[in-house]
Chain A
Amino acid sequence: MADLRADVVVLGAGPGGYSAAFRAADLGRSVVLVERYPALGGVCLNVGCIPSKALLHVAEVMAAARDLAEAGVDFGAPKLDLAKLRARKDAVVAQLGGGLAKMAEQRGVRVVTGTGSFAGPQRLDVATAEGSVAIEFARAIVAAGSRAVQLPDFPDDPRVLDSTSALALDVVPQRLLVVGGGVIGLELATVYEALGADVTIVEALDRLMPGPDPDLVRPLQRRLEPRLAAIHLRTKVTAVEARADGLLVAFEGEKAPAGDLFDRVLVAVGRRPNGDRIGAEAAGIRVGERGFVAVDERLATNLPHVFAIGDVARAPLLAHKASHEGKAAAEAACDLRVAFDARAIPSVAYTDPEVAWVGVTESDARAQKIEVDVARFPWAASGRALGMGRSEGMTKLLFAKDTKRLVGAGIVGPHAGDLIGECALAIELGADAEDIALTVHPHPTLGETIGLAAEVAAGTVTDLYLPRRSR
């Protein structure tokens, strides 16, 4: 006997899950949203994107204030009230979470708090604080997200952090080791560096931040290097020993440093989808080895009435991809003829400077044998960037040689993440270099660099002198 019945049950209330639930409700379905934590919003809202951005904003303003000393304005050393900062971050999270709960109520979406697990092809059991609740459903949308990868052999010690505990901001350690030079590691390194920690980054690969082209990461690395204690590439952590006076870390690699003592070690080596934690076998849902639930373009799993979205379905593990997939899956679950067919999904590292990219990168183009024309506009030629004292930025556009249309873009510099949306729109609409170049961009802005990079591609730029490209 089922305790609840729903047209659509959504497992997980992250950005993908709540979008799916709300959309299905708006399409007139009875919806039950299952979430293991009391707050809606998932990792992104509670322990991911939102709190990290609240802190990164603080870090950015602190860095800008510090930079102003060169411009003749010295604020002196900042005074940090960690409890107040934490409270501000928590207030942002609480405000958004409260908004979600309110919207769920307004839509008549029933929220069940507890850990859900499939008990059959049409049944989900939820372990709640009040006991087990059985939900019978016609359609299910799995939005169970992902979790931080733990490294084996690391001690079970409160001083070993993951992104969640790092964002809790209990303390600003004197010496912080960040294991993993990817986006999450670099963002948190940025926060803790600004707050005064001595940050060391260790990365197994030969570069920071795989994903975007190296030329987009270089300005970030150049800015980080003098601010951080050290960046060790091609280096692995071989042992972490918990001692009373700190965590003793041993390294391995060509240029590995000697063992060293840290107050905290943050592990940011990736995330793993939660496909192994949803009771998939009981329903007969196919889950791949790495824990992703395989889906088709409608987001349907091997069971036609069960859909999967977001981190648990496939890469990239990004909130904005999840919420778009969530809507598409909700519509598919309501038998609308839809699919998720976005041509490009932007990625942003909210570091300082920010790194943002969308569509194909130059290395993708090489790997996929797509012939592209690459146009770069250095921010050193942007009056606005110079005025901000941030000439290290760069805007790069990739146009397919055959169609002339934009297929990829990369931006490094402050607010790159806010700028990349225009490039995503241009890719979706099939804009070519002339379309972008002939679109009047306001001056002087950072966004103008996109129009100017397109002018470089079109051969009409006058803000740079490129003798051979002119037509």
Chain B
Amino acid sequence: MAEREIKLPDIGDFDGVEVIELLVKAGDRVAAEQSLLVLESDKATMEIPSPVAGVVRKLLVGVGDVVREGTPIALLEVEGVGEGIEPATPAVEAPASASPDASPQDAPSSADLAPYTVDAPHPAAHAGPSVRRLARELGVDLALVPGRGPKGRILEEDVQGYVKALIAQGGGGASVPIAGVHVAAPVDVDFAKFGPVQSEALNRVRRVASANLHRSWVTVPHVTQFDDADVTELESFRQDHRAEAEARGTKLTFLPFLVKAVVKALQEFPHFNASLDRSGENLIVKRYFHIGVAVDTEHGLVVPVVRDADRKSLFELAAELQQLSEKARARRLRPEQLQGGSFSISSLGGIGGTRFTPIVNHPEVAILGVSRMEWKPVWRDGAFVPRRILPLSLSYDHRVIDGADGARFTGRLAALLADLRRILL
């Protein structure tokens, strides 16, 4: 048995994340990959798994502590020989050997000299010492910088370009003033003068969402296109197959059908599955179909992403959507499950309302809002017939998409939803 200090692994692009829940306590036996604690970042909560199996001797952090990569989080009694040895641990206390000024007889194995070897298993950024130095000065994480030198090598210009782009986007936590926009200063009113009030701090999810929505609202010229889809046949098809889905352990909601139809429409209208680059001069059309689905949680709105929705069956989509929304509500989404979306869907169908105008999830260029489906009388062949009608609201970035295309897209989507067999055509 060896004791091993568990350090917080690389948790992505976060520095300083709060511990919101401890999942184990001293004395607990944990399996490898079992979650030890839960962190909350700007966008998501994430569980931190134990790298090895063992018994928790001591937790080194508590709820409310702010941690970052490398922070010791727990002491584990590790089971099995050798498992306690961390690979390539910077052995600060390593005895000296293998050097003109260093030891022979009580010499350690050469593995003790690990601090300055190249860690090839996690290939470090392909950048020379001067570029690494520049990145450090500017606080740039080289893992995020695309290298444009030979063989993807990161050059000084790449670091500079990355920083310029960040500034241009107002990203990296910084904010930039937008030229030409002048608004009155925010009003500062003492509401208590008018009656009893209570101040509630916005939680992190809402604060971040608020900043993103505001940016999108101010920088993206929005247009919202409305349309109706006749989903009578689709809805009865869905009802007919609910039992089959339940037998497979999933609930067949309407959403997977919507995702299917949206993906087909996106394939036909690729500019809806795109982003403007930072210069605003190039459209980056995505060849992947990662669909973000807004989920309403008690902590605020989150948008988990279904990856490669074009390659998944209805049942697979149903199961994944169910899982993502459960995780979202339990605040258990990992950061990568919130990234990479190319188009978003916001459904208020379960709540009500007739229409709404969703805000584009920048840098995507379009978002589909759906409201509650209703039986409506539809004039058909000289008579009113009852049909199930689904209201569609498509908001898009008018810089990229013209009004005519907006109407074509929703029209096509409505046609696909009216008869999903069209997807096969």
Contact = CB atoms under 8 A, between A and B. Distances in A.
A339 B136 contact: yes
Interface stretch (A19-27, A59-67, A251-259, A425-433): A425-433
A403 B96 CA distance: 30
Contacts of A416: none
A196 interface: no
A269 B126 CA distance: 39
Contacts of B139: 337
Interface in B97-124: 97-121, 123-124
Interface in B344-402: none
B94 interface: yes
B208 interface: no
B102 A403 contact: no
A368 B104 contact: no
B249 interface: no
B100 A49 contact: yes
Contact of B123 (A295, A400, A429): A400
A183 interface: yes
A203 interface: yes
A127 to B, nearest CB: 26
A270 B103 contact: yes
Interface stretch (B71-79, B85-93, B415-423): B85-93
Given A295-B92, A344-B117, A402-B120, A319 B110 contact: no
A211 B97 CA distance: 7
B128 interface: yes
Contacts of A334: none
A179 interface: yes
Contacts of B101: 43-44, 48-49, 146, 183-184, 271, 311, 317-319
Interface in A368-419: 368-370, 372, 400, 402-403, 405, 407-408
Contacts of B115: 314-315
Interface stretch (A73-81, A153-161, A359-367): A359-367
A190 interface: no
A268 B104 contact: yes
Nearest to B115: A314
Given A337-B136, A363-B110, A364-B114, A270 B95 contact: yes
B91 A315 contact: yes
A181 B102 CA distance: 11
Contacts of B153: 430
Contacts of A318: 99-102
Given A180-B105, A270-B104, A210 B95 contact: no
Contacts, number: 207
B107 A270 contact: yes
Interface in A329-348: 336-339, 341-345, 347-348
A333 to B, nearest CB: 16
B137 interface: yes
A212 B136 CA distance: 32
B105 A179 contact: yes
A43 B117 CA distance: 25
A273 B101 CA distance: 11
Interface in A129-188: 146, 149, 179-185, 187
A192 interface: no
Main secondary structure of the interface of A (DSSP, over half): loop
Given A182-B104, A315-B115, A316-B116, A341 B132 contact: yes
Given A211-B98, A311-B96, A316 B106 contact: no
Among A48, A344, A347, the most chain B Cβ lie within 10 Å of the Cβ of A347
B102 A317 contact: yes
Given A315-B95, A403-B123, A363 B111 contact: yes
B93 A210 contact: no
B104 A185 contact: yes
Contact of B92 (A48, A294, A372): A294
A446 interface: no
Nearest to A406: B118
A306 interface: no
B105 A368 contact: no
B118 A315 contact: no
Nearest to A319: B101
B151 interface: yes
B148 interface: no
B106 A269 contact: yes
B234 interface: no
A271 B136 CA distance: 33
A337 B106 CA distance: 37
A270 B102 contact: yes
B107 A210 contact: yes
Contacts of B119: 368
Interface string A193-213: 000000000011100011110
Interface of B: 87-88, 91-121, 123-124, 126-129, 132-133, 136-137, 139, 151, 153
14 contacts: A44-B101, A52-B100, A183-B101, A210-B110, A269-B105, A273-B96, A315-B99, A338-B137, A348-B100, A363-B110, A368-B117, A368-B119, A405-B120, A405-B126
Given A182-B104, A270-B95, A338-B133, 11 more contacts: A183-B104, A209-B104, A210-B98, A269-B106, A314-B92, A316-B99, A369-B121, A403-B123, A405-B126, A407-B120, A428-B129
- The 6 closest A-B CB pairs, nearest first, are A211-B98, A270-B103, A182-B104, A180-B104, A269-B105, A400-B120
